[in-house]
Amino acid sequence: MSPRTETLPLLTASPGTSRVLTVHRFGAAGARPKAYLQAALHADETPGLLVQHHLYGLLAEAEMRGDLKGEVVMVPYANPIGLAQFGNGTHLGRYEAGGGGNFNRNWPDLFTPIAEGLADQLGSDAAANVAAIRAAQCDHLASQTAGSELQSLRLALAGLAVDADLVLDLHCDDESLMHLFLIPAHWPQAADLAADLACRAVLLAEDSGGQSFDESFSTPWTRLAARYPQHPIPAACLAATVELRGTADVDDATAAQDAQALFHALQRFGVIAGEAPPPPEPLCEATRLDATDSVRAPAAGVLAYAVAMGEHVAAGDTIAWIVDPTKPPDQARTPVTTRASGLVLSRRMQRYVRPGMAIAKVVGETPLPHRQGGYLLED
């Protein structure tokens, strides 16, 4: 077999315009396990586009060898709307310019609309329960009608990913080390993936509060298991947000290395035949997302970091200064401290900030009081 490519049209937003999603398929349709990968849902996060370019070649070669045991669905760019959004030469791909908000928030709820209707369909066979749940989720999505271009994008992507066993959503941060977001139910199952990618952090949350793409497919399983404890319901979709370092970390050598790591992960997951090499030694343990301090600017001004990424800091340490250029030097600096002790995982690329802007993530091990409940993500 050879890869198949299709295009899915989105709802036309205005006369004379049209956008489509491109979808690459490897392996036999319906084969298991099924893996779904997409890049650039935040359309200005470029690394995943190049990683999937390299991964396509690896998958095509595997298919020519007859090594596709399962199915791989790859969306090379998940957001044609955001890819087209430029303002005065600057790419604006994180938020929908028409007022739809963050492209990676408010994805379809695949638990609430189907939960009650499953009561008479579940039994003692875990595999049959998985099939019933997936069928209900697929039917729910198929019943929805898009009322906007953004909604048509969401329904199209969700329809491609909803029945997958593995969902990898490729993102990046501003300036960052490699890391993953997962739900706790998929750790340590994803430990080899984290090691393959040389992750410096794995951040776990049952519900991060934003209804992000990955959690739309992972959390329904744990919620249904809690709703129906008398029936075996596994966490049947391992979904992860993969943060491919920072926005500027885009080059062929790095992308090829990451693509090879993802290929090995697909082998270990059983999607591709062949024995992957042993994963490298892990560079981190998984920690709770609510133990990571999302440090925010207390004032407006010039951001001057006092620490580098990868450094370890202690709670109370000054990690940056906000400098007010209108004041004398002895009055101009406002310290920015962290409430977590641990690794400096990410920093803000733009060095002028307003109050409340996120400027760093510090990965701690102890849950932080101000991070309990509600919204755990950055805007």
Q: What is the 3-state secondary structure (H, E, C) of 255-295?
A: HHHHHHHHHHHHHHCCCECCCCCCCCCCCCCEEEHHHEEEE
**Mean pLDDT value across residues 124-134:** 98
Q: What is the pTM assigned to this prediction?
A: 0.98
Length of the chain: 379
Residue 361 near residue 200 (C-beta atoms within 8 A):
no
Q: What pLDDT is attached to residue 240?
A: 98
Q: What pLDDT is attached to residue 2?
A: 83
CA-to-CA separations, 256 to 51, 190, 197, 262, 353, in angstroms, rounded? 6, 21, 12, 10, 34
Domain ranges for the chain? 4-284, 289-371
Residue 96 parent element (H or E): strand 95-96
Does residue 227 carry a pLDDT above 90? yes
- Average pLDDT of the chain is 97
- Per-residue pLDDT of 280-299, as tens digits, reads 999 999 999 999 999 999 99
- CATH number (3.30.365.10, 3.40.50.720, 3.40.630.10, 2.102.10.10) of 4-284 reads 3.40.630.10
- Per-residue pLDDT of 235-266, as tens digits, reads 999 999 999 999 999 999 999 999 999 999 99
Which pair of structure tokens corresponds to residue 213? 């793409």
- Per-residue pLDDT of 168-226, as tens digits, reads 999 999 999 999 999 999 999 999 999 999 999 999 999 999 999 999 999 999 999 99
Q: What pLDDT is attached to residue 243?
A: 98
Does residue 1 carry a pLDDT above 80? no
Q: What pLDDT is attached to residue 379?
A: 84
Residue 128, Cβ density class (10 Å: 0-12 exposed, 13-18 middle, ≥19 buried) = middle
Can you name the CATH fold of 289-371? OB fold (Dihydrolipoamide Acetyltransferase, E2P) (2.40.50)
Q: What pLDDT is attached to residue 31?
A: 97
The Cα–Cα gap between 114 and 109 comes to 9
**Mean pLDDT value across residues 106-124:** 97
